[in-house]
Structure 1
Amino acid sequence: MIIGRLALKDIRWTGQGGRHEALWAIRINAAVTAVFVGGLVAISLPGGSDQVAVTDLKAHQCYVLTHEHEIDPHNGIGTLDKVRRVGCGSEHDGEVVGVWDAGRAWSDYPDDQETLESRASQECDRLTHGYARDFWRIPDGSTERYFAPTRSGWRYSGIHQVVCSVESNGAKGTLYQDPAVLGPHRTAYLDAENALDIVRAQVPDSPTADGAMSEWTVYAVHMASAEEAMVRALKAHQWPSDAAGPIAQVEASAQRAAAAWTKADGDREPNAVDRDAKAAEAIDAATPYDAARGSLHLTVSDPAPVRRV
């Protein structure tokens, strides 16, 4: 998987009436590409479709962007009033994967707005992985978004929730995968893989350790820990006989990557950190995830998605 870091873009939303009068910021969290395999199970909402404020959206709900929004396709800046909520079995623009209550993390709006943006990005990434489970089956061209409150919305209208969604024009059906339907083996594998992917996405903004030594060494510590956690999770599960071999190869690769990340953490020169981080990333890129997935009848084609965080 190739991870690319790009700047956040602002989209402004102005609510109508009551507590929705406060200005909100809609942040583009991630652009995710993956191969779409097979049909998606449709979930319909009772009561037809209706217009709602973004703040009223909940997980498992789908929506269509209305004519009341104006977004510049070049810079991602514009306004959004409400969305039209529709059943996920109908054609839609986005699906809500979860809502994170930022009020549990802070009693007041963070002094630095980027702090909220960074945490919202991480929490929405976690919710998306838990909701869709198999990230590789998200339709190509999809965009992961989060809708976060501004300082005025937080303080004067009591809006603390961050709404996380995945958008894909003209989508039908839901991205949700029920662990009970996936079964214990596929769920165990995806949980282990997703935990690593969530940490992997937090790569530092700087492409090298030069001038960002502390960020890269901290990232190396987190990646080493995540690789080791993946090994433990995979070893703890009793796999079917035809999946045991491919998954053992993933375990071995993760162990080598963990060792390389640990070495990067111990380096004291930026060039050395870059060298060992690249070695760890090369090991990860060569990991036979597709073989392990194939043995469990999961999506086996990864188009190297680019994620904007």
Structure 2
Amino acid sequence: MSIPPPPGSQQPDGRYPPPSPYSPYPQGPYGQQPQGPYGGPPYQPWTQGYSPYNRPAAVNGLAIAALVLGILCFLPGVGLVLGLVALAQIRKRGERGKGMAIAGCVLSGLGLALWTLALVTGGAAEFWKGFRDGARDGASISLKRGECFNAPGGSLEGVTYDVDKVPCDGEHDGEVFASFRLGGGGSYPGDTSVTDRADERCYGLQDGYAMDGWAVPGDVDVYYLTPTRDSWALGDREVTCVFGNTHEGAGLTGSLRNDETVLDADQVAYLKAAHVLNAAMDTAPDAEYVEDDLPGHKAWARRVAAALEKQAGMLRGHDWPAAAEKPVTGLAGDLDKARVEWAKAARAADADGFYAHYDKGFKLIDPDRTVTARKALGLTTTPPSEDDTGLEV
């Protein structure tokens, strides 16, 4: 006989009750839930979507590069391409950086449009010229003929990268009288080569700015600013010729310029004739004594004789004002006499014969003989000392 279940029991036949449809865990016998190691429910494995150790997706590197190039507007075409490639990679790999890639594309596109417009209108060429000039200015000093300046520490020697331009009317350290460019596009030729070239050209160019050597103070000499090895690499080839004081710490006051812009036509005519002789006198041989180089001294005497003939002809060929006519004519006569003696010195058989005619010819071109003509023309009448500038007439 069967025993019916107690009243209220809902359990069906069977040994164990069925699992509850609402229980997330499997049930044990008598409706008890299985226990974990510490009395709680058993652990469940973490899924990847909720793992505390799950790392976020990486940022696409090309997107970063595209944004940087877009902001700098540098190589905009490259920035645009990188941005487009980055967008494709982001979609495929699930990486981050879509906003950066889009921003890089937009900025690079604008930059590319601006570069295209600059090329069409010639603005790119102007930009590059300005950049190149700026680089040169940063490496060399840009000064023009007739400008005056102060150098750092007041010294015109050593290396300097900057000067301060000042008016020539006041005190200053240097005055630019000429400039020229060195040839050659190769490597830096060396300090000695650059200095020798600057020395030769600058001394030859000073007469074009200060035509009257008598008006240049005796303590003034020629200096020059030359390219350095670093500025040469940036395209600097300019040599700047400068007048400066030979005494340390001393400067100049007022401009030394006396050329066609300052002098009248008669003064210019006289000084141009004088330069012919001065140039010939500057070609004297290196040997101090005639005995050491008689052929060299005889060749020099021939050059001086030719210069004297040309100078006298230039003086006679100009229409001088009445006050200067007589003294200039007298000076031309002295030059004729001097030419005869220098020509004889050029034909001398020995050193003694050379000296005999050289002494006579030299006295006839003594600068003191030109003072009267200079005074009549309104030029400086105080001869420079021979130690300062050599013979100048």
Residues 47-78 of structure 1, C-alpha deviations (whole Å, 9 max, x = no match): xxxxx86652321111222139695xxxxxx5
Give the letter for the 1:60 counterpart. Answer: G
Q: CA deviation at 1:239?
A: 0.8
Retained in 2: the 8 A contact 1:100–1:162?
yes
- Structure 1 CA distance for aligned equivalents of residues 194 and 343 of structure 2: 27
Deviation at 1:253, TM superposition (A): 1.4
Match of 2:352 in 1: 271
Q: Structure 1 unaligned runs (5+)? A: 1-16, 21-51, 72-77
1:124 aligns with 2:202: yes
Asked if residue 262 in structure 1 is aligned to residue 343 in structure 2, the reply is yes
Offset, 1:238: 0.7
Kindly report which structure 2 residues correspond to 1:71-220, keeping only aligned pairs within 5 A, or say none.
Answer: 78-103=158-183, 117=196, 120-148=198-226, 158-168=235-245, 169-220=250-301
- From 356, 362, 371, the equivalent of 1:281 is 362
More helix, by proportion: 2
- Report deviation, 1:220: 1.6
Question: Deviation at 1:216?
Answer: 1.8
Is 2:67 the counterpart of 1:67? no
Larger RCO (CA within 8 A; separation ≥ 6): 1
Give the structure with the larger strand fraction.
Answer: 1
Instruction: Give, in whole Å, the separation in 2 of the partners of 1:299 and 1:163.
Output: 27
Kept in 2: contact 1:68–1:82 (CA 8 A): no
Note the C-alpha offset of 1:228. 1.3
Q: Is the 8 A contact 1:110 1:116 kept in 2?
A: no
Contact 2:140-2:236 within 8 A present in 1 as well: no
Does 2:329 align with 1:248? yes
CA distance in structure 2 between the aligned counterparts of 1:53 and 1:265, rounded to whole angstroms: 50
- d(CA) in 2 for partners of 1:176 and 1:69? 21
- Paired AA for residue 144 in structure 2: K
CA shift, 1:221, in A, is 2.2
Q: Which moved more, 1:162-171 or 1:232-241?
A: 162-171
Percent identical residues: 27
Tell me which structure has the larger Cα radius of gyration.
2
Structure 1 Cα separation of the partners of residues 140 and 349 of structure 2: 47
- The answer to whether the 8 A contact 1:54-1:163 is kept is no
* Amino acid paired to 1:221: R
- 2:256 partner SS: coil
Structure 1 residue 58 corresponds to structure 2 residue 144 = yes
Query: Which residue of structure 1 aligns with residue 308 of structure 2?
Result: 227
Q: CA deviation at 1:281?
A: 1.7
CA 198–160 in structure 1, closer or farther in 2 if over 3 Å, else same? farther
Instruction: Report SS of the residue matched to 2:173.
Output: strand
Which ranges of structure 2 fall in alignment gaps of 5 or more residues? 1-133
The 1:195/1:261 distance shift into structure 2, 3 A limit, reads same
1:137 & 1:69 partners in 2: Cα distance?
23
Whole-Å separation in 2 of the counterparts to 1:286 and 1:133: 16
Query: Shift of residue 183 of structure 1?
Result: 1.7
CA distance change for structure 1 residues 55 and 81 in 2, over 3 Å: closer, same or farther? closer
Between stretches 120-129 and 254-263, larger displacement belongs to 120-129
Q: Deviations over 1:269-299 (max 9, x none)?
A: 2333333333322221166210000111111
CA deviation map 1:83-142 (0-9, x unaligned): 3332212310111110133439x999999x68973x654532342212122221113421
TM-score normalised by structure 1 residue count = 0.68
**Helix, strand or coil: the match of 1:303?**
coil
- Find the aligned partners of 2:223 and 2:384 in 1 and give their Cα distance: 20
In 1: Cα distance, 2:140 partner to 2:291 partner: 41
Q: 1:242 to 1:110 in 2, by over 3 A?
A: farther
User: 1:272 and 1:53 mapped to 2: Cα distance?
Assistant: 56
Structure-2 separation of matches of 1:85 and 1:57:
8
AA at the equivalent of 1:254? L
Paired amino acid for 2:296? E
Aligned residues: 253
SS of match in other structure, 2:241: strand
Contact 1:97 1:128 in 2 (8 A): yes
Following TM superposition, by how much is the alpha carbon of 1:185 offset from its aligned partner in structure 2, in angstroms?
A: 1.1
Aligned to 1:74: none
Distance 2:219 2:368 in 1: 24
Find the aligned partners of 1:134 and 1:92 in 2 and give their Cα distance: 21
